[in-house]
Amino acid sequence: MLHLILAALLLVQSSKDVASSPLREANEAAQEDWITKVLHYMESNPETLEELMSKDYAVLEGDILLLNDRNAVESVWPSGEIPFTISPESESRTEVILSAMEMVSEHTCVSFHRRTSESSYLTFFTGKGCASYVGLIGGEQPVFVGAQCMLGNIVHEILHALGFHHEHTRSDRDQYITVLQQNIMDGKERNFRKQSGETFDLEYNAASIMHYGGGFFSDNGLPTIVSKEEVMNMGQRKKMMDSDVQGVRLLYSCGTL
């Protein structure tokens, strides 16, 4: 499916090219090279599959959906109680979605329940990848969990929905990692911009489930992020680290462990 979508985009772009034949051929070759890179990357890194081909959502940092109102204020969910629904096309993924919720709530005071009449709630949809808004936005709030989004990817998106940005965008990140801008795919530089936000004085953790891997959005196969300390599992999506748990507990006033 991804190959067909990208091929269609290439055909549309080519039909608009009214330049000379040599220039058109050069443009097509460049586009084919770009498509090959994107396909390879998307297949290798399902978290960054997000809604790249969707015109309905703007995406930041690879998997963060943006509101049309850029001045909108993010907020947490009242009392840490999150209503949810699962769309009919995603029902086959119910077990893994519920397991992801369980991982988030196991050591925190955040809880999830099936929506009854609540006006604000999460709905899990099958998308082209994994993506979520950050924090409570009000109304039906989509979380996209494509076929390649595994347990840890879904946990990652749920944490976005709870209000967390990526760890590698912390304002103090330069003390702990180096971002290699020259290796980042064209147009994806903003995925690595620092974000202002509450860190709760928690230690930076490159092994956080919210951290990018070292090769995320690499244009040339070389690292885009290098840790200044040895980290064996940067970008892991296996489990929430203690710092992830503590972050949720502090944001939702659960108290410390």
Give the single-character DSSP code of 69. Answer: S
User: What confidence tens digit (pLDDT) does each residue in 135-152 have?
Assistant: 999 999 999 998 888 999
Per-residue confidence (pLDDT) for residue 54, from 0 to 100: 40
Per-residue confidence (pLDDT) for residue 63, from 0 to 100: 57
Nearest to 82 by CA among 255, 208, 251, 256: 251
- One-letter amino acid at 136 equals L
Per-residue confidence (pLDDT) for residue 111, from 0 to 100: 98
Per-residue confidence (pLDDT) for residue 128, from 0 to 100: 79
Average pLDDT, the chain: 80
Whether residue 157 lies in the annotated active site: yes
pLDDT score of 37 more than 70: no
Per-residue confidence (pLDDT) for residue 33, from 0 to 100: 56
Per-residue confidence (pLDDT) for residue 251, from 0 to 100: 93
Of 83-87, 169-173, 186-190, where does mean pLDDT reach its minimum? Answer: 186-190
pLDDT band at 129 (very low <50, low <70, confident <90, very high): confident
pLDDT over 90, % of the chain: 57
**Rg of the Cα trace of the chain?**
19
Q: Are 168 and 177 in contact (CB under 8 A)?
A: yes
Q: Which residue ranges are tagged as binding site for Zn(2+)?
A: 156, 160, 166
Give the number of other CB atoms < 10 A from CB of residue 121: 20
Of the listed 47, 50, 51, 157, which one is catalytic? Answer: 157
Dist. CA 117–CA 83, nearest whole Å: 9
Domain spanning 78-162: CATH superfamily: Collagenase (Catalytic Domain) (3.40.390.10)
Structural domain boundaries in the chain? 2-66, 78-162
The residue-averaged pLDDT of 4-30 equals 47
Dist. CA 60–CA 26, nearest whole Å: 30
Residue 137 to residues 74, 124, 140, 230, Cα–Cα distance (Å): 7, 15, 9, 37
Nearest to 170 by CA among 209, 139, 135, 210: 210
Per-residue confidence (pLDDT) for residue 30, from 0 to 100: 53
Of 12-26, 152-166, 198-212, 237-251, where does mean pLDDT reach its minimum? Answer: 12-26
pLDDT score of 193 more than 70: yes
Look at the block and give the residue holding tokens 């070389």.
222
Question: Which position has the higher pLDDT, 120 or 2?
Answer: 120
- Helix or strand holding residue 178 (H, E): strand 177-179
User: What confidence tens digit (pLDDT) does each residue in 66-125 have?
Assistant: 443 332 336 899 999 999 999 999 999 999 999 999 999 999 999 999 999 999 999 999
Of 34-38, 116-120, 128-132, 195-199, where does mean pLDDT reach its minimum? Answer: 34-38
Q: Which residue ranges are tagged as binding site?
A: 156, 160, 166
Opening angle at CA 128, ends 53 and 197, nearest 5: 85
pLDDT over 70, % of the chain: 70
User: What confidence tens digit (pLDDT) does each residue in 204-240 have?
Assistant: 999 999 999 999 889 999 999 999 999 989 999 999 9
The residue-averaged pLDDT of 11-20 equals 41
Per-residue confidence (pLDDT) for residue 224, from 0 to 100: 95
Residues 6+ apart with CB under 8 A from 157: 63, 130, 131, 132, 143, 144, 145, 149
